[in-house]
Amino acid sequence: MASGVRDKVFISYSRDDRQWLEQLLRVLSPLIRAQPDAIFWDGLIRAGQEWEEEIRRGLDSAKVAVLLVSPGFLASEFILKEELPTLLNAAKNQGVVILWSLVRNCWYEKTPLARYQAVPYQQTHKMQAWNTLSETELEDLLVVVAKEIDDRLRSQPAPPAPEEPEASAPATAAPEPGHRTAERLLAGVEDLRVVAEIGDLFVIRRRWSDAQFTYDRMVELAAPNKERWMAWGYEKLGLVHRRQEKWKPARECWSLAQTLYRRADLGEKVAEMGRLLQEGPIAPGAASG
């Protein structure tokens, strides 16, 4: 299929680096005000939208890919297996611009990113990570990054992908039955952020049994002292059940998530769970939440 128009900025980052993303977005605010739809990052995905579909749309519409590189970025299964290969392939074949910046020191030299010039350009001295800079130095750096993004976005459009005939999928090894893949990947893993990344990856691949096992593990690891993580795990479990149109267990999970979000005093998430509880067919006499 032919590709759509590439006219946006796609920002790829680790959840560990959300604070740096927010600082970049703040500096980019003049561009965002002038072109509200120019920037895509996963925080723009609204409740009720298909997470996988929106990420794919963001990748497919990227003219400029901004990568906030850090140990968390390089450790992310989802970034390294889904986002980064897609963006690097688009850079090679469709002219997508790769702009990466070192947020925290990491071993980026062992990745394909070493072939791309970082921004801002460091020609006379060793590259400095954002987190090593003073407040003034960081502000100056972010302005340079923002201007580079704007320049690349306003440059001549990247060529569209050539039309290719639909090809049959290459033969691959049969997936492991049940949730064995998740069980293997999660062996010894206790970092809730890593568990969340693995769960998201299984959702992208529509591996529902593995995804359910992963989010169950997330809830188990969060209990009993990390209510926000427990709530998030139940919310994700509900979304997995919804994908399979299993409405009763979906609502049970969302009801638990709502209770936990209420305990954590997260009113916006409580309301969001209330909206999810209204979705789908309601059994006669069942409470809607």
Residue 126 pLDDT: 61
Q: Is the pLDDT score of 162 beyond 60?
A: no
CATH number of 8-154: 3.40.50.10140
Q: Is the pLDDT score of 30 beyond 50?
A: yes
156 pLDDT band, cuts 50/70/90, is low
Q: Is the pLDDT score of 9 beyond 90?
A: yes
| Domain spans, the chain | 8-154, 180-277
Q: Which residues lie across from 88 on neighbouring strands?
A: none
- Residue pLDDT, tens place only, 49-61: 566 678 888 899 9
Residue 184 pLDDT: 82
- Residue pLDDT, tens place only, 192-236: 888 887 887 788 778 888 888 989 888 888 887 788 889 989 999
**Do the domains 8-154 and 180-277 sit in the same CATH topology, yes or no?**
no
- Residue pLDDT, tens place only, 65-119: 999 999 999 999 889 888 999 999 888 888 899 999 999 999 998 888 888 888 8
Average pLDDT on 25-33 reads 93
Q: Which CATH class is domain 180-277?
A: mainly alpha
Residue 165 pLDDT: 39
Judged by average pLDDT, the poorest of 18-22, 30-34, 40-44, 174-178 is 174-178
Indicate the pTM of the whole model. Answer: 0.56
173 pLDDT band, cuts 50/70/90, is very low
